[in-house]
Amino acid sequence: MKTTETPPVDTAEERPPVTKVTVARTPPAKATEGRVLNFFSHGMLILWAFMVVLPLLWAVMTSFKTDRDIFSSPWALPDRLHFENWSRAWTSANMSDYFLNTVIVVGFSLLGTMLLGSMAAYVLARFDFPGNRFIYFLFIGGMSFPIILALVPLFYVMQNLSLLNTLPGLILVYIAYSLPFTVFFMTAFFRTLPSSVAEAAFVDGASHTRTFFQVMLPMAKPGLISVGIFNFLGQWNQYMLPTVLNTEPDRKVLTQGLVQLAVSQGYKGDWSGLFAGLVMAMLPVLAAYIVFQRQVVQGLTAGALK
């Protein structure tokens, strides 16, 4: 086995794979390299884990402190758990409104994105017609364009359609900007599904529409879940689109509402309430992630690994 004296050999790739049996008999860790490396890798890994968790814990801790304690001793534990920060943020700092707006906007956008995205993808993946490739590239081209460029004229398009500062307007825009990735992903997915089932349904007299909704869509469920999670997180966390297109104070979504609060808090000075709001916005997503961790990771990495 590997000892430290042997020089590294560069021909690793050409070498045919050795059967597992020979290696399986290897005596367990004798080289010191293993131990040093293990110590080193654990150290680095723990350090980064610490750096990820610490700011989050700090935020949770701070949300339970009084304003005075926040400023005098940022790292000290709260003297007691000031839950009133949370209730104050929820009611008087409008967190409840921001939550509701976000839920409405993301709920409808997600539904619309998934429905329209898979409809377009289905047609593009399984039917041959003039312009198919062109429309496909039109859709996926949107993935690499800087959105901010389109936002300037889009603002005035929305204004002319009286959609500016409305929730339906925001929903439509979320759908439009989620379509490129959704169509890209779902087209690839529909191509992998066997065509025999759809043909059988069609021969049995089902229309194209019925075949899609009753046969193909249920079969595409794993893909729908992956891309659904991706879109959910993207739309829930969206900041730039609402900042530009939705400036009405009553209709703000969570992210822009919090930023708005932070700016105005500079004058009002309710920092503890703001931290409570911040943690309130963080915790549901983190909790959902911990519960559905496997699906979230699969959903978010599926597109990139293809």
Partner 1 sequence: MQHGKYRFIVGFLAAPLGIYALFVIWPFIQSIYYSFTDWSGLSPEFKMVGFKNYSRILDDEVFWKSFQHSVTFVLLLPLVTLTLALFFAFMLNVGGRRRKNAAIAGVRGSAFYKVVYFFPQVLSIAIVALLFQFAYNPNSGALNSALKAVGLDSVQPDWLGDPDLALWCVFAVLVWSTVGFFVVLFSAGMASIPRDYYEAALLDGANRITTFFKITLPLLWDTVQSGWAYMGILALGAESFAVVQIMTVGPNGGGPDYSTTVLPLYVYQKAFRDGQAAYATTIGVALLVLTLLFVAVVMRLGRRERLEY
Least separation in angstroms between residue 147's CB and partner 1 is 6
What part of residues 145-164 is at the interface with partner 1 (CB under 8 A)?
A: 145-157
Contact positions with partner 1 (CB under 8 A) in 241-260: 243-244, 254-256, 258-259
- Our finding on whether 137 is near partner 1 (CB under 8 A) is no
User: If you search the block for the tokens 């530009």, which residue do you land on?
Assistant: 244
Instruction: Give the Cα separation of 233 and 174 in Å (integer).
Output: 12
By the rule CB under 8 A, 290 interacts with partner 1: yes
Residue 52 and residue 69: Cα distance in Å, rounded?
A: 24
183: contact with partner 1 by CB under 8 A: yes
Does position 213 interact with partner 1 (CB under 8 A)? The reply is no
Binders of partner 1 in range 76-115 (CB under 8 A): none
The whole-angstrom separation of Cα 110 and Cα 125 is: 21
Q: Smallest distance, Å, CB 250 to partner 1?
A: 19
264 contacts partner 1 (rule: CB under 8 A): no
CB of 293 to partner 1, least distance (A): 6
Distance CA 201, CA 207 (A): 8
Of residues 98, 185, 190, 212, which one binds partner 1 by CB under 8 A? Answer: 212
Shortest CB 13 distance to partner 1, Å: 6
Task: Identify the residue among 20, 80, 134, 250 touching partner 1 (CB under 8 A).
Answer: 20
The one segment of 85-93, 103-111, 140-148, 216-224 that binds partner 1 by CB under 8 A: 140-148
* Stretch of 15-23, 83-91, 103-111, 214-222 lying at the interface with partner 1 (CB under 8 A): 15-23
- Tell me the number of residues near partner 1 by CB under 8 A: 122
Q: Which stretch binds partner 1 (CB under 8 A): 19-27, 77-85, 90-98, 216-224?
A: 19-27
What are 236's two structure tokens? Answer: 């829930």
DSSP the chain: ---SSSPPPS-TTTSPPPPHHHHHTPPS---HHHHHHHHHHHHHHHHHHHHHHHHHHHHHHHTTS-HHHHHH-TTSPPSS--THHHHHHHHTT-HHHHHHHHHHHHHHHHHHHHHHHHHHHHHHHH---TTHHHHHHHHHHTTSS-HHHHHHHHHHHHHHTT-TT-HHHHHHHHHHHHHHHHHHHHHHHHHHS-HHHHHHHHHTT--HHHHIIIIIHHHTHHHHHHHHHHHHHHHHT--HHHHHH---GGG--HHHHHHHHHHHHHHH--HHHHHHHHHHHHHHHHHHHHHTHHHHHHHHHHHHH-
Per-residue mark of binding to partner 1, 35-74 (x: CB under 8 A): x-xx-xxx-xx--xx-xxx-xx-xx--x-------xxxxx
Among the candidate windows 81-89, 91-99, 216-224, 273-281, which touches partner 1 by CB under 8 A?
Answer: 273-281
Could you say whether residue 305 binds partner 1 (CB under 8 A)?
yes
User: Which position among 24, 80, 218, 250 is part of the footprint of partner 1 (CB under 8 A)?
Assistant: 24
Q: Is 144 in the site for partner 1 (CB under 8 A)?
A: yes
Q: Helices 271-291 and 293-305: crossing angle, nearest 10°?
A: 80
CB of 52 to partner 1, least distance (A): 6
Provide the minimum distance between the beta carbon of 231 and partner 1 in the complex, in angstroms, as a whole number: 13
Q: Determine if 129 is a binding residue for partner 1 (CB under 8 A).
A: yes
